[in-house]
Amino acid sequence: MGSSRWSVLLSWLLWPLLYGAGLFGAGLALDSARPLLWFNVMYLSLVVVIALLERLMPFEPQWLADDGETGANLAHTFFTKGLVQIAAAAAATLGMATASIVQPVTAPVHVWWPTAWPLFAQVVLGLVVAELGLYAAHRIAHEWPLFWRFHALHHSVRRLWVVNTGRFHIVDTCFKALLGQVPLYLLGAPLKVFLWISAVTAVTGLLTHCNIVLRTGPLDWIFSTPALHRWHHSKKLEEGNRNYGENLVLWDQLFGTYYNPARRPPADIGIHGRIAKGFLAQLLQPFRREGVREIMDPDTH
């Protein structure tokens, strides 16, 4: 009984601890002389910790079984991030590298951004603004067949765990980055805001895809949590076409796509479409005429 109580307590504490540790490490990295290098070191360390916890306290034990897609998952992550980010194995930090190079060059003449605000307030505002673009890109990727061709790769996973966090087609990733970052560029947000948003997105992405028993309770009303994202990977359209938020669920709340029923999400996840085997075949599949053969099984509607 005592051991059970400690397990429950740990499950409540883990999400804030992992999230806080990730952002604390990101803060140290961003203040260092080599921010990208040290951010990647922190990120990879967090990946290792999460991978260990997935073995010790899995949310869904059957997701521990090998699905034969680990190589493809890593290849997509490495390819999406490019050579600079290979060591980190984290596609989400592509935005950090992009912001470091592009933002100073494309900064608008008229800056509408509240640069006098404390950095924390600017980052919160930046997250809200960027989330609207990310929400739109994610929802379009589900509801427009042309974009689903690319996004289907991510939803083809049969299990959720830390390694498939970066399983995104490069076109899908670039589309999301475009819609999420352009509004911030136009508003004149400073580089530091872009870097922090990229850091928050990277840490959140690891946690939403992890296979750990995590209880988040009221946090589900604010943040994109594992509890919400597991529903997003459901095969059923009425469940999978929900919870589009990347970091926050504000826009899901406002646009009626928030979904968090009081029951356990399905362990049988994925799609009924035929996804090619292997990294190169998956990379080329959306460009072929047949694309993904089938979006969803009509019986699951």
What are the beta bridge partners of residue 198?
Answer: none
**Overall pTM surpassing 0.85 (yes/no):** yes
Is the Cβ–Cβ distance between 30 and 198 less than 8 Å? no
Contact 244, 255 (CB under 8 A): no
Give the count of beta carbons closer than 10 Å to the beta carbon of residue 300.
14
170-133-272 Cα angle (round to 5): 50
Q: Per-residue pLDDT for the chain (301 aa), expressed as one digit of tens each? A: 456 889 999 999 999 999 999 999 999 999 999 988 899 899 999 999 999 999 999 999 999 999 999 999 999 988 876 533 443 334 344 555 555 555 555 555 556 899 999 999 999 999 999 999 999 999 999 999 999 999 999 999 999 999 999 999 999 998 998 999 999 999 999 999 999 999 999 999 999 999 999 999 999 999 999 999 999 999 999 999 999 999 999 999 999 999 999 999 999 999 988 899 999 999 999 999 887 755 444 444 4
Q: Per-domain residue ranges for the chain?
A: 2-300
Tokens for 87, please give them: 């060591």
